[in-house]
Amino acid sequence: MDKAGLYIHLPFCTQKCNYCDFYSIKTNPTTVENFINALIQEIHLYSNHQVFSQVKFASIFLGGGTPSLLSSNQLNRIIDKLNQTFNFDADIEFTIEANPESLSSNKLKEYLSSGVNRLSIGVQSFADENLKKLGRSHNVQQAENVIRWAHEVGFKNISIDLIFAIPGQTQTQWEANLNRAIELNPNHISTYGLTIAPGTVLEKRIKSGLEKCQEEETERQMYLSTINIFSEQGYNQYEISNFAKPGFECLHNEMYWNFSPYLSLGPSAHSYWENRRQWNVSNVDKYFESIKNGEKPIAEFENLTLEQKQLEFIFLSLRRSSGIDIDKFYQLFKTSFLEKYKSSIKKLESYQGDSLFTFEDNRFKLTSEGFVLYNEVCGLF
């Protein structure tokens, strides 16, 4: 059996960002305390699971929401229950997502002492005007302080998130973001083109004419410049949105992309093992109710068909710079990728003017231009 990944969704935020459509709610001490008690019970409900009670976990990822709103005592209660219930690698990657306004130097020290060894900081921009537009709760100074403190207290694996194609953002401003990020010397940087999600504040502002979406060509240039600038500074692009210094690729995300089993806990969290995918209820009250009744808070599940698995393998592999391993595809599905999808590949060859893929070392990989058109490429399959 493969190693497994463990994800915990903590749905609390001080406020909802203007672009966010993840499940989150405003924080208050009582609800957080009730949530931790319920989460500990949910962990217990998996103590005899046919897969997750047997495997070793190679990664823990606390996402949200804003997991860094937890005190070190609250975090330690969760960790203690995990250690009582599951088996973990000695060199486990343990990530916590963090917003700058929720951290202090002392809190970072406490997290490090608790076993957290990878910090993922939601910086999003090094321009206060962009942070305001995104509805973020922090300013640039706070973000820079937290990155500096993380280095000082001894974090050896620091990741930051940045967003591009923000309404009004120029190419020059975006490149200034990239250069400032490099100066602060994180080990890993994730960059995301802004998605205008339905029902968000930002979508409403765009519909009412208060903001204007970036042009596609501007977004394309921002993305391509990201690849070039990071490559020159020693950050390898190992996935469509992720760049890392050698040896600092995110193990937890790699497990998703490799079809490794992963258990996810908390409201709205998705799990996967042995062709089965399940997801929890996306409502904290329903989550509490299920746990109170001694039931796993599962909303729905599905068993993936062979065709679904093939397509997911393709889509996940195409996100990565290593591309589709042709031999592995055959081993998994007993069919030739090049034969089954030759018509799709032929369409790709004649799609627009740019070369969208390469085929080398028995791997089918997207080029930078292919990454730009990732959704369209996937559509051809």
pLDDT digits (tens, 9 = 90+) for 189-202: 999 998 877 888 77
pLDDT digits (tens, 9 = 90+) for 327-339: 999 999 999 999 9
Report which of residues 350 and 365 the model is more confident about: 365
For the CA atoms of 111, 114, 115, 117, the dihedral, rounded to the nearest 10 degrees, stands at 10
pLDDT given for residue 26 in this prediction: 79
Does CATH number 3.40.47.10 belong to domain 4-257?
A: no
Locate the domains of the chain by residue range.
4-257, 306-380
* Spatial separation of the C-alpha atoms in residues 230 and 191, rounded to whole Å: 11
Judged against a pLDDT cut of 90, whether residue 78 lies above it is answered with yes
Averaged pLDDT for residues 157-181: 96
Ranking 173-177, 236-240, 258-262, 298-302 by mean pLDDT, the lowest is 258-262
Portion of the chain with pLDDT greater than 70, in percent = 98
pTM: 0.94
96 φψ region: left (φ > 0), alpha (ψ -120 to 50), beta (else) = beta
Q: Considering the domain delimited by 306-380, tell me its CATH architecture.
A: Orthogonal Bundle (1.10)
Judged against a pLDDT cut of 80, whether residue 18 lies above it is answered with no
- In Å, how far are 13, 15, 73, 244 from 69, measured between CA atoms? 8, 12, 12, 26
pLDDT digits (tens, 9 = 90+) for 101-148: 999 999 999 999 999 999 999 999 999 999 999 888 899 999 999 999
Q: Are 357 and 374 in contact (CB under 8 A)?
A: no
